[in-house]
A and B are shown apart, each in its own frame.
Chain A
Amino acid sequence: AQSVTQPDIHITVSEGASLELRCNYSYGATPYLFWYVQSPGQGLQLLLKYFSGDTLVQGIKGFEAEFKRSQSSFNLRKPSVHWSDAAEYFCAVAITDSWGKFQFGAGTQVVVTP
């Protein structure tokens, strides 16, 4: 069965420091991968997505993610965190053998300290 794992439930980072959020997936075929961000009281907003091609993808708000097939990972990174990056982040995989379904990870809560 397909699954998405975000090992870190909660991360605290200082403003200006780098951030890396981990995502591991279990999926037989080539995955379609997404990272979403959810600010408090809001819906989810797409940060970036990977379908194929270059394994390093750029997204909005200065985020990037790298797809590593050998490690079944799709980690999200940002070189310098801003206070406005405090939010919950979700990794998701599209389940292409059951069209239209997406599987989400449990989320990582990011806290940014001054």
Chain B
Amino acid sequence: DAGVTQSPTHLIKTRGQQVTLRCSPKSGHDTVSWYQQALGQGPQFIFQYYEEEERQRGNFPDRFSGHQFPNYSSELNVNALLLGDSALYLCASRVSGTGSADTQYFGPGTRLTVL
């Protein structure tokens, strides 16, 4: 049973550039969430996608956008990169609906460094 996968593992960009991160959910999962984790901090919720639509959004600027594809995989796009965007970006997936489906499983993350 494949878990959540993310690519790339590491990424280095310069200020002002744009970046795309990718996530494939755990088998059987249809809902994907993205989190930003600064060094030494807890993850912060960016947004959640279900049925190819953004369903929930955290307190992040419009420079952060996403997409979900029919196969449930997802992309996180960040435009006009700032130094402060340097972080570990985590993808989590779950099954839609309530009950035990509310448990989210995480991928290994993408480490983004903005120079």
Do the two chains bind? no
